[in-house]
Amino acid sequence: MKQTVSSIKKYGQLKAEILVEGINYSDDFLVEFSKKNDLLEKRRAYGNSDEKMFPKEMKVPQEILLPEGIVVAVNQRNNAKWSLECVNDNFYVTNGEELIPIEFPQRPNFYDLKMMDGSNVSRVVTLYGNATLGVFSPGTCYFWAKGEECKFCSLQPTRKSQADHEMFIKPATAKEAIKIALESEGERVNHFLLNGGTISNYDLGFKRHIEVLEAVSELDIPSHVEKHLISMPPKDLSLFERLSKTGATIAMDLEIYDKNLFEEICPGKSKDYGRENFLGALKEAVKYLGRGNVYCGFVGGLEPVESLAEGMHRLGELGVVPAINIFHNDPGSQFANRQRPKLDEVKEIGYHMSVVYDKYNFKPFIKNTGRNSLDTEAYLKCFL
Ligand code: SF4
């Protein structure tokens, strides 16, 4: 069926609402969901956004697919207005008035396949947003050891209790795992995403990321699969030249545009790298990768819309694409009890993104698969 703009808008806005409020489900729903061996379970490589603390063996949903193929993270919240329901073997999201049919991503076959050393491919690769192969390494971040982690981050407690991923992934291991994953799921996969915590030697950390990208690039990757990196910037900005040869885009996440709030919310990034250096690195990266291929991630809902909008417009002028995840108050993070943003605020953020994307002809990061972001929906003008 041909997609209509109004339908995309409706479900794009529903995604915003679900991200703002979270979503709930009952034990009965979980019983039905866990019977479906073909559906994807949630895996937690870097954070936990569920209010209830589920044992890691318990099968709970990671994402839902709304009509129009809109992907939304399932961030469980006890008092959320929207909930998941199973009726006669069909799945829905409901607010008690509307019953909207949904789907869950299919569990990929490669989760059960083995590497040469006998370990599961799933210890290296996670499927996100139904079409992104994610590798997260290192699974640790030195800001936590200094008590200077970003205040919304739940990496360390999640890794201790709820992850089953390798902590450090070598280039050859990533290459082997991605090869297996692509052989099994090549048709539905559109993105390879490398991400990881920060080590104190920024250049070494960045080089390790490049080495993984280089190793994966040696594979015969289908032309529709794009490569992406999320990383802190290096100190030696000439490393962007080496990165550009891998063909990957990069996101370097300032998280908060307002100067004072950045210092307060991201103390490690602020002290050890610095806001001005960060902005300088983004600008420099554009010289090597080109306009529209360098992204800057922000957390929507932790600063006034005005400052975030100012940041989006300023970065847009530089050729840097704003990428915005909507804040969720993860247990285990310093902001576990912080209020989530209001829907109107999030829609306003979406509006500014749409304007900037349209003005500079930008494309969203990991297009169509960002489960906690509204990048794709802003690109589709859901908030104009
Ligand atoms: S840089 Fe911040 S958000 Fe990223 S892993 Fe470290 S503490 Fe968490």
Q: Give 80's strand partners.
A: none
pLDDT of the residue at 6: 75
| Residue 289 alpha carbon to ligand 1 centre in Å | 24
What are the distances in angstroms from CA 71 to CA 8, 118, 345?
A: 12, 33, 21
User: Within 10 A of 64 (CB to CB), how many other CB atoms are there?
Assistant: 24
Going from the Cα of 149 to the center of ligand 1, the distance in angstroms, rounded, reads 6
Q: Which residue's CA lies nearest to atom 2 of ligand 1?
A: 150
- Cα–Cα nearest to 312, from 329, 302, 324, 294: 324
Question: Could you give all domains of the chain from N- to C-terminal order, each with its CATH number?
Answer: 5-101 (no CATH), 109-379 (3.20.20.70)
Task: Quote the Cα angle for 331-278-310, to 5°.
Answer: 80
Residue minimizing CA distance to atom 4 of ligand 1: 197
Mean pLDDT by 10 residues, the chain (384 residues): 70 97 96 96 88 89 97 96 96 96 97 96 96 96 97 91 88 98 94 97 98 97 96 98 98 98 98 98 98 98 98 98 96 96 97 97 96 96 94
Residues contacting residue 30 through CB under 8 Å, at least 6 positions apart: 58, 59, 60
Ligand 1 center–CA 145 separation, angstroms = 11
Query: 9 CA distance to ligand 1 centroid (A)?
Result: 32
User: What atom of ligand 1 comes closest to residue 153's alpha carbon?
Assistant: 8
Q: Tell me how far apart the alpha carbons of residues 295 and 253 are, in angstroms, rounded to a whole number.
A: 8
Q: Which parts of 22-120 fold into alpha helices (H)? A: 27-35
CB 359 within 8 A of CB 383: no
Which atom, in ligand 1's list, is nearest to the CA of 149? 7
Q: Which of 153, 156, 372 has most ligand 1 atoms within 8 Å of its beta carbon, as the pocket-test mutant?
A: 153
Best of 137, 143, 160, 302 to mutate for ligand 1, by most ligand atoms within 8 A of CB? 143
Give the 3-state secondary structure of residue 25.
Answer: coil
Atom of ligand 1 nearest to the CA of 197: 5
Closest CA to 300 of 14, 16, 56, 6: 16
Say how many residues make up the chain.
384
- For residue 141, the CA-to-ligand 1 centroid distance in Å is 6
Cα(258)–Cα(151) distance, integer angstroms: 15
**pLDDT for 158:** 87
Summarize pLDDT for 91-147 with one digit per residue, the tens.
Answer: 999 999 999 999 999 999 999 999 999 999 999 999 999 999 999 999 999 999 999
Let me know: does 275 contact 254? Beta carbons within 8 Å: yes
Measured distance CA(353)–CA(362) in Å, rounded: 10
* Distance from residue 3's CA to the centre of ligand 1 (Å): 38
- Ligand 1 atom nearest to CA at 148: 7
pLDDT in tens, 350-364: 999 999 999 999 999
Distance, CA 161 to ligand 1 centroid (Å)?
17
Task: Please give the pLDDT value at position 5.
Answer: 54
Closest CA to 356 of 307, 311, 326, 325: 311
Residues flanking ligand 1, CB < 6 Å: 141, 143, 149-150, 153, 155, 197-198
For the stretch 28-43, pLDDT in tens is: 999 999 999 999 999 9
What's the pLDDT at 57? 86
Mutate to test the pocket of ligand 1, among 49, 150, 266 (most ligand atoms within 8 A of CB): 150
Residue 85 neighbours by CB distance under 10 Å: 17
Amino acid 275: pLDDT: 98
Question: What pTM value is reported for the model?
Answer: 0.95
CA of 232, closest atom in ligand 1: 1
